Amino acid sequence: MIVALLTMFKTLKSSYSLVHIVENQIQMLLTHNCQVRILVSESCRDEERFGSFLDERLEWVRIPNTIDGKEIVWHDYSDTTLPLHEGFKKEVEMTSQAYVEVLQDVEVCILHDILYQGMHYMHNCALRSAQEKLPHIGFLSWVHSFPCTPPPELPDTMKGRFMPMAHTLFVFPSLAGISGLSHQYSIAEGECRVVYHSYRQVEEMSDVVRSLHEKYDLLSPDLLIVYPARLTQGKKLDKVAAVVGALKAVGGLSVKLVFCDFVVGERKQAFAYRAFVKEVAEQYGLESDEVIFTSEEGYEKGIERKAVLELFKLSNIYICPSLSESFGLTVGEAAQAGNFLILNENVPALKEIGRRLGAYFMKWDARVEGATQKENYRISEPTYYGKHAKEILKCIEQDKVLKAQTLIRQKYNNQWIWYHQLYPLLVEGVHLGEKRK
């Protein structure tokens, strides 16, 4: 699919939020093998490019912004009572011809505020003129500010600010603006679409995290649990797997458990324990692709600390059933990243920090003052986990901040937006245009 983005950017300075929105959109398009062309003003400087703007696959097209040797001044026609400036028609004709020339082979053209901003009214009129010669193109017109109410009286010269355009759908980043779009352009709400703005998550993280996500999908699960620990029985990875299995069973939720594990000492013994943890995970209903050991992903000695902290930013639950801890550094790191904490109440250090941090407590074996204190459940262990799973899920459901963090991870990311909003809209855009004869 050949997609053009008509922006008319004069600058790519990062302080301009629309620049980041377009850069992220380009990344999504290139990631999914679209041929992408961006239309900018001829004065847009190469040295300001960053991120996906630097991708060699991106085709840059500079639209002329000089006429008779002078730079075109973009007059702001937000005030629809203003008369058109001298030379407006000539600027429109020149710009329209440029659009026709560079969009001939395009299937879908994405517009960013071109039909909305008063500052772009010349480009608006030029595009409307060009569109008549480009009936095969579907246009998707993004509006990035709240829609305007048409004035009661509108001069003919300003009708382009509030008119629909053939073969065009209008797009807003939230449902809140759909009614306004419909009113501004005198179109049915059915001709308007929603595409969220995306928050960069995995894309800007380390190679380790990106590779894990590409293989296992770390963004979609309802519950993402990350547990950094040595691959030893004392760290009780099997208990973490049991709790996660119970949460999945009780809540009917999608889960992903990432063990940031590492081998210290005897490898054979460590690998035997890892196999045991897998058996426990299976017994508690976890599928093989729901339990990840970084030691099996090429990181037997552990992943870098930066990657662990990045994973905590994605996860929403941290479980520590460890037999013994002197402080529990990862507890604080997980808490700082906004995770719901589930800690072993029988370990004094975990109990101390857990009380301060508002953790949820469960009981497992613990080593206290040099001796191992065994936890004997009055009910079966699976029943114990199921009982606590119900309480944990209630706590999570009532935690508005945690719910917000999870929703951002799941639905305000490039992956979700591409498959649920942007790609279906592009397909729709292809069908907007008339078939070439």
- Cα–Cα distance for residue pair 143/110, rounded to 1 Å: 11
- Comparing CA positions, the residue from 99, 121, 119 lying closest to residue 109 is 99
Whether 335 and 354 have beta carbons less than 8 Å apart is answered as no
Which residues 6+ apart lie within 8 Å of 193 measured at CB?
A: 140, 169, 170, 171, 172, 421, 425, 428
User: What residue ranges do the domains of the chain occupy?
Assistant: 2-199+415-432, 206-411
Whether 360 and 376 have beta carbons less than 8 Å apart is answered as no
Quote the pLDDT of residue 298: 92
Task: Compute the half-sphere exposure of residue 75: CA atoms within 13 Å on the CB side of its CA.
Answer: 16
Whether 125 and 92 have beta carbons less than 8 Å apart is answered as yes
- Cα–Cα distance for residue pair 132/100, rounded to 1 Å: 9
Question: Does CATH number 3.40.50.2000 belong to domain 206-411?
Answer: yes
Tokens of 88: 């407006």
- Comparing CA positions, the residue from 33, 116, 38 lying closest to residue 78 is 116
Quote the pLDDT of residue 328: 79
Quote the pLDDT of residue 437: 42
- Cα–Cα distance for residue pair 267/154, rounded to 1 Å: 78
Same fold, 2-199+415-432 and 206-411: yes
Please compute Rg for the chain using Cα positions: 28
Whether 143 and 177 have beta carbons less than 8 Å apart is answered as yes
- Comparing CA positions, the residue from 333, 331, 336, 334 lying closest to residue 345 is 331
Coil vs helix vs strand at 373: strand
**Within 10 Å of residue 294's Cβ, how many Cβ atoms?**
23
Which residues 6+ apart lie within 8 Å of 237 measured at CB?
A: 227, 229, 231, 259, 261, 273, 274, 277
- The tokens 């009910």 sit on which residue? 379
Cα angle 80, 81, 82; round to 5: 90
Question: Does CATH number 3.40.50.2000 belong to domain 2-199+415-432?
Answer: yes
Q: How many residues does the chain have?
A: 437
Strands 2-6 and 35-41: what pairing? parallel
Ramachandran angles phi, psi of 138, nearest 5°:
-95, 135
pLDDT per residue, tens digit, the chain (437 aa), is: 999 999 999 999 876 689 999 999 999 999 999 999 999 999 999 999 999 999 999 999 999 999 988 999 999 999 999 999 999 999 999 999 999 999 999 999 999 999 999 999 999 999 999 999 999 999 999 999 999 888 988 999 999 999 999 999 999 999 999 999 999 999 999 999 999 998 888 988 999 999 999 999 999 999 999 999 999 999 999 999 999 999 999 999 999 999 999 998 889 999 999 999 999 999 999 999 999 999 999 999 999 999 999 999 999 999 999 999 888 789 999 999 999 999 999 999 999 999 999 999 999 999 888 788 888 888 999 999 999 999 999 999 999 999 999 999 999 999 999 999 999 999 999 998 876 54
**Within 10 Å of residue 358's Cβ, how many Cβ atoms?**
10
The torsion angle over the Cα atoms of residues 288, 292, 298 and 302, rounded to 10 degrees, is: -150
The torsion angle over the Cα atoms of residues 47, 51, 57 and 63, rounded to 10 degrees, is: -50
